Structure formats: C-alpha cells, structure tokens
Amino acid sequence: METNTAAIQTVDNGVNVEALLGAREALTEAPAAAEFIWCANSEWVNGTHTRASVKGFHGLGEEQCHRTEFTFDSDHPEVFASDDNGATPVEYVLVGLAGCLTAGVASVAQNRAIQLRRVSATIEGSMDLQGILGIDSDVRNGFDDVTVRFDIDADATREEIEALVAQSQKRSAVFDIITNPTQVNVQVGG
Amino acid sequence: METNTAAIQTVDNGVNVEALLGAREALTEAPAAAEFIWCANSEWVNGTHTRASVKGFHGLGEEQCHRTEFTFDSDHPEVFASDDNGATPVEYVLVGLAGCLTAGVASVAQNRAIQLRRVSATIEGSMDLQGILGIDSDVRNGFDDVTVRFDIDADATREEIEALVAQSQKRSAVFDIITNPTQVNVQVGG
C-alpha cells in the first residue's frame, strides 16, 4: 500500500479525495445531514425565453449558498421561430450530464492515483420533434437516446481509463436522473 | 371562432404560434426533418470543474447552429471541498426543467389567447447524498423527487392557468427526460 500512497501524493487532479472520504465517514454517522435540496428559480422573459438563477441550496442540516449567483438564459432556436437568446432546455440537461460524468472521472482518478491530462466529451441527445409538436402520440417528448463519447488522456492503460468512466457512471447523479424515472410534482400557487 | 381570432391578435406573449403550427404541418408531411440531435461539448478544467459549450445541432435534415456559442461552467460547491466555479450538474437539470415548462406555458397561453404577465417558478430537487457517496446502495444517486411551484399572473381564471401548466407538462421534453427512463450510451474513444 505504500506505493499507492506515494502515487496518490504525486498525482494531482485538483480533487480533495481526503475531504470526500471524510465526508463519507461523517455522513455515515449522521445520515440526516446527507439530505440535500437543490434549487433553481426562474422568471419568464418573453416568448420561449426564460432566465433561471441558482444560488441557495440545503444540505448538512442547514441552508447553504454558492459563492455567487449563477444565471442562465434558455430559449428556443431560430428554426423554431424563436429568438435563440440561450441554450435550449434539453441542451442544459446535456451540459449537466457532461459536468457530472467528468467530475466523477476526475474524482475516481484521484482516488486511484491516476494523473489526468485531458478529459473531453461530446454528448448528443437524439429527439424526434413529432413528440413535442404533438404530431405522433407514440413518439416521446424527450430524448430517444443519449450518447456520450469521452476522449481521455491520462497516465493509465485503456482498461484503467474505461474503468474510471464506468465507476463515474455508477455514482453519477445526472446519469441516474436521465436513465431512471423520477417523480416530478408540478404545483400552481396563488 | 371570430372572437377567439380577435383575442389571439391582441394577445402577445412573444410566441409565434402561427410558425409553430406551420412547422407541425410541414413536419407531418416530412417526418425525417423532425429528427433532431442536440449536442454539448465539454472539457475538464480541474478538479470537479468542467466547461461545456453548446453551439451546433442537427435538424430539418441539416446542420444547424445557434446564433452564438453558449458556455457553461459546472463544479461542486465548497461544502464538497470543491471550488464552486459553477452551478452543480444537477442544478443544470433543474434549470432545463424550468426553461422547458415555462416556454411551454408561454406557447400554450399564446395558442389559447391568454395574455401572460408574469411566470415565475421555483424548482427543487431533493437528493440523499448517501447515494453518490456510496454509503448506502439502496439510495439512488439522482433526485428522490422534484417539485416545481409556478406563480403565474395572467388574464385567465385559476382553472385556465392550471390547464396551461398541465398542457405544458404533457408536451415538455425535459419533464419527459426526468420522469421517464432514457438509454445513455457512454463510450471511450482513442
């Protein structure tokens, strides 16, 4: 194990694995602290253009806050007769998947003492618009399927790199959200 | 029907419903043009920080392009021992859901001659971190559930507003992506 420890010390992917392992230990003792609520607030701008903001969330038993507020414009493109003031809503889902799987690859690589040099990904979601346009009720509204292609340069064999990606999928929140059903409750206030 | 036509003419939510109905007609005739592919490209920056970009997509039988490239930083927050250089990947999913349902409300309202004044939403996704941390294999990685609370000010009865929201859900791509399973294929190139 000494060799592995030495390797971990020289490998730096910018992930604080010790803190994550510490968090896992702490939350095993206090599972209520592991209950998080993520949040976004949105305001309609005009047409299909909406602006959402992300700042606060709940976790570790209290209200938490990002260092800054992040704002995101979503819209439909000009081919849908819209103004294209932002990425489409479905592209935001792909961005989330990219970020989630890549963060997982970096974290697992750090834990396995694998130095990463580059991790790039292309994420594609195919969609038959006959669904959302209501042309064919047998066509779903969302993606038919999603493909993620990773290109990874690291001090590791191809097998080790494939194992990194597999482990990242296994622990990815967004991968789970897309591949498995989640209940969404929509309420109208006022 | 004359009354309705007159009302549609005075109602302006910024959605070109005529163009959307025209697109539905055109795509009914040429279903291959309805096959879209949405795309994001990502590059790992450091640690859990990833930058994704959205620009090109495929649809109407050819390559399409947004007016500009949109870039998005995702990261984990400081309570995860990360640098909080962007929204978390799961928050991007909530942003997509907000944008999708709100664009749907605006489009359906236009089609039903309902003038909107304000559409705001709060979207929350609850998540037990025991999943992604690997503490309890019975806990899923993604959201336990998602709640969307709309606050809508419009020239309409409460029933009409609730019907707008219901119809928007029925045609929402991101609502479908979250509530139903989608195959995600992850490949490693090189």
Instruction: Give ipTM to 2 decimals.
Output: 0.96
| pLDDT tens digits along A16-64 | 989 988 989 999 999 999 999 999 999 999 999 999 999 999 999 999 9
- CA dihedral angle for residue A22, residue A28, residue A32, residue A34, rounded to 10 degrees: 50
- What pLDDT does residue B9 have? 63
- For chain B, the residue count is 190
Mean pLDDT of chain A: 94
Is residue A106 within 8 Å of B44, Cβ to Cβ? yes
CB atoms within 10 A of CB A181: 12
CA atoms within 13 A on the CB side of A18: 4
Phi, psi of A125 (to 5 degrees): -125, 120
- Beta strand B145-154 pairing with B116-128: antiparallel
A9 contact B CB<8A: no
Q: Which of B14, B16, B180 is nearest residue A142 as measured by Cβ atoms?
A: B180
Alpha carbons A103 and A109: distance in angstroms, whole number: 10
B47-56 residue pLDDT tens: 999 999 999 9
| Mean pLDDT, residues A167-188 taken together | 98
**DSSP secondary structure letters along B80-136:** GTS---SB-HHHHHHHHHHHHHHHHHHHHHHHTT--EEEEEEEEEEEEETTTTTTS-
Per-residue pLDDT averaged across A162-176, rounded? 98
Q: What is the mean pLDDT of residues B67-84?
A: 96
Confidence of residue B2 (pLDDT cuts 50, 70, 90): very low
* A48 neighbourhood in chain B, CB within 8 Å: 14-15, 103, 106-107
* A4: confidence class by pLDDT, cuts 50, 70, 90: low
User: What is the three-class DSSP state of B71?
Assistant: strand
**CB < 8 Å & 24+ apart, contacts of B2-9:** B4/B113, B7/B113, B8/B110, B8/B111, B8/B113
**Biggest CA pair distance of chain A:** 63
User: Inter-axis angle of helices B89-111 and B17-29, to 10 degrees?
Assistant: 100
Give pLDDT, residue B3. Answer: 44
Which chain B residues have a beta carbon less than 8 Å from that of A78? 67
pLDDT for B10: 86
Express each pLDDT in B113-136 by its tens digit. 999 999 999 999 999 999 999 999
Higher pLDDT, A9 or B168: B168
The length of chain A in residues reads: 190
Would you say residue B4 has pLDDT above 90?
no
Q: Which positions in chain B touch A150 (Cβ < 8 Å)?
A: 186-189
Average pLDDT value for residue range B77-100: 97
Q: What pLDDT is attached to residue A104?
A: 98
Alpha helices in A71-130 (DSSP H): 89-111
Q: What are phi and psi of B7, to 5 degrees?
A: -65, -40
What is the reported pTM? Answer: 0.96
Rounded Cα gap, residues B166 and A111, in angstroms: 46
Taking a contact as any Cβ pair under 8 Å apart, which residues of chain A between 18 and 57 contact chain B? 19-20, 23-24, 27-28, 31, 34-44, 46-50, 52, 54, 57
Mean residue pLDDT across chain B: 94
**Which pLDDT belongs to residue A1?**
37
Q: CB of B152 within 8 A of CB of A188?
A: yes
Question: How sure is the predictor about A7, in pLDDT bands with cuts at 50, 70 and 90?
Answer: low
Reference A10, options A148, A147, A118, A110; nearest CA is A110
According to the model, what pLDDT value does residue A10 have?
A: 86
Per-residue pLDDT, B1: 37
What pLDDT does A3 receive?
44
